[in-house]
């Protein structure tokens, strides 16, 4: 699978872009703020029906325009597939596959597997538990439709239960009804998260070993209140009085977290910038490898400005992985063309290098 052609109108600072892309490596070079990340975000949008960085769709429209449009032509197996997204101010978003609009956007998730590695990933280590749950949920949703459906249903019921608490509803039968449904959805989500972490860990440790050349030992631990009980419903029933006092639901799979360690210590406390970045890159490369094995398809891989803070040896290890043809189509953004050109000389495959300035994109070199 790869993205053959990308067309963008009025997306963030990209007024009009039309690119025929390399099926292997596409590099976007330019200073910060010129539009490199926005290009990668447009590719991300076509896979996930949303921006990675801006949650309100209308805020992605160029400031003086009334709409944006992103259109991608993909090669899936031996077939061409056209994906279109468009939104006008104060109107509903349109998302289409081969000119047919989706009934539900969730039906599209997983069609175009993609992994993004970006500076924002730092929040996985330094941010709150919500960031780490998003990582797990976004990952599993790409290969498990039932998981995504159950997750959305659980969140709807959680909002309902929190509203009941705030409005001081005391009807036990009503809580029982909501909590029974939450327990059904939440138990499945917990089981899939547990299974995922168990199966994912060896992939993660393998990639970290490669990139760090064995300098550090890393682990992931899944932490959930469900580990304290065999019934999510009884857990929520037992917390009702406390929930009435604090004003929200304190027990459930929406409180799950990941403990990230390096050399058996919390990496957020002991990791340097380079070690943190190595940890995150290994995490995302393992995500790529895990998805590839599950779907028998190489996901698109986006590297957004990741080489800063990495020493030359670790960068070289990442390049060697590309050289081994382990990846499919790769998009890279960077500020230093000479740096990227020297890396690409060591990789015997097709590539395009584009210059990006003030939202305009120009092909500079190809092979």
Nearest to 329 by CA among 12, 47, 35: 47
Strand partners, 182: none
- What pTM, to 2 d.p., does this model score? 0.86
- Contact status, residue 248 vs residue 165, Cβ threshold 8 Å: yes
Average pLDDT across the chain, whole number: 91
Q: In which region does residue 77 sit, left (phi positive, over 0), alpha (psi from -120 to 50) or beta (all else)?
A: left
Give the mean pLDDT of 192-214. 92
Q: Which of 1-5, 156-160, 197-201, 304-308 has the lowest mean pLDDT?
A: 304-308
Q: How far apart are the C-alpha atoms of 119 and 243, rounded to whole Å?
A: 36
Using DSSP's 3-state secondary structure scheme, residue 4 falls into strand
Q: How far apart are the C-alpha atoms of 192 and 198, rounded to whole Å?
A: 10
Specify the higher pLDDT residue, 252 or 338. Answer: 252
* Distance, C-alpha 291 to centroid of its chain: 12
Q: How far apart are the C-alpha atoms of 311 and 6, rounded to whole Å?
A: 33
- 242-280 residue pLDDT tens: 999 999 999 999 999 999 999 999 999 999 988 998 899
The residues near 1 (Cβ < 8 Å, ≥ 6 apart) are 74, 75, 76, 77, 112, 113, 297, 298, 299, 300, 328, 329
End-to-end C-alpha distance for the chain, whole angstroms: 20
Q: How far apart are the C-alpha atoms of 204 and 280, rounded to whole Å?
A: 10
Nearest to 258 by CA among 114, 137, 354: 137
Domains in the chain (CATH in brackets) are 1-113+297-367 (3.40.50.300), 127-296 (1.20.1050.90)
Tokens 């994906």 locate to: 83
Q: How far apart are the C-alpha atoms of 157 and 179, rounded to whole Å?
A: 8
Q: How far apart are the C-alpha atoms of 285 and 92, rounded to whole Å?
A: 35
- Contact status, residue 223 vs residue 257, Cβ threshold 8 Å: yes
**145-166 and 129-141 helices, crossing angle to 10°:** 140
Residue 346 pLDDT exceeds 80: no
- Contact status, residue 43 vs residue 300, Cβ threshold 8 Å: yes
Strand segments (E) across the chain: 2-11, 14-20, 25-29, 67-76, 79-88, 94-97, 100-101, 114-117, 218-223, 257-262, 265-266, 300-304, 330-334, 351-357, 360-366
User: Which of 233-247, 277-291, 315-329, 334-348 has the largest mean confidence?
Assistant: 233-247
Nearest to 11 by CA among 353, 304, 361, 336: 361
- 69-118 residue pLDDT tens: 999 999 998 899 999 999 999 899 999 999 999 999 989 999 999 999 98
- Which pLDDT value is given to residue 309? 62
Following CA atoms 271, 275, 277, 278 in sequence, which dihedral angle do they give, to the nearest 10 degrees? -140
Nearest to 253 by CA among 316, 187, 345, 351: 187
Strand partners, 70: 8, 85
- Which pLDDT value is given to residue 323? 66
Give the mean pLDDT of 54-66. 93
């Amino acid at each position: 699978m790869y993205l053959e052609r990308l067309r963008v109108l009025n997306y963030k600072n990209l007024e009009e872009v039309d690119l025929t892309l390399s099926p292997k490596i596409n590099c976007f070079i330019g200073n910060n703020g010129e539009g490199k990340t926005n290009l990668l975000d447009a590719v991300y949008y076509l896979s996930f029906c949303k921006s990675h960085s801006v949650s309100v769709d209308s805020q992605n429209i160029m400031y003086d325009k009334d709409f944006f449009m992103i259109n991608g032509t993909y090669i899936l197996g031996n077939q061409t597939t056209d994906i279109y997204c468009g939104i006008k101010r104060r109107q509903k978003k349109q998302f289409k596959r081969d000119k047919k609009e989706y009934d539900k956007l969730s039906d599209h998730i997983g069609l175009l597997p993609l992994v993004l590695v970006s500076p924002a990933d730092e929040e996985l280590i330094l941010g709150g538990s919500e960031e780490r749950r998003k990582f797990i949920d976004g990952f599993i949703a790409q290969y498990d439709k039932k998981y995504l459906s159950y997750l959305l249903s659980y969140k709807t019921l959680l909002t309902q239960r929190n509203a009941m608490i705030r409005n001081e509803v005391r009807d036990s039968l009503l809580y029982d009804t909501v909590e029974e449904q939450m327990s059904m959805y939440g138990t499945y989500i917990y089981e899939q998260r547990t299974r995922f972490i168990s199966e994912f860990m060896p992939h993660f440790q393998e990639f970290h070993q490669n990139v760090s050349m064995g300098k550090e030992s890393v682990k992931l631990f899944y932490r959930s209140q469900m580990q304290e009980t065999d019934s999510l419903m009884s857990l929520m029933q037992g917390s009702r009085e406390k929930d009435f006092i604090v004003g929200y639901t304190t027990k459930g799979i929406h409180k799950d977290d990941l403990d990230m360690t390096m050399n058996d210590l919390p990496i957020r406390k002991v990791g340097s910038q380079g070690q943190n970045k190595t940890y995150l890159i290994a995490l995302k490369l393992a995500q790529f490898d895990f998805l590839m094995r599950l779907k028998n398809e190489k996901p698109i891989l986006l590297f957004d400005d990741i080489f800063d803070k990495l020493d030359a040896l670790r960068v070289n290890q990442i390049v060697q992985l590309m050289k081994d043809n382990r990846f499919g189509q790769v998009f890279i953004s960077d500020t230093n063309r000479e740096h990227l050109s020297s890396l690409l000389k060591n990789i015997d495959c097709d590539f395009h290098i584009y210059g990006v300035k003030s939202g305009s994109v120009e092909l500079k070199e190809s092979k």
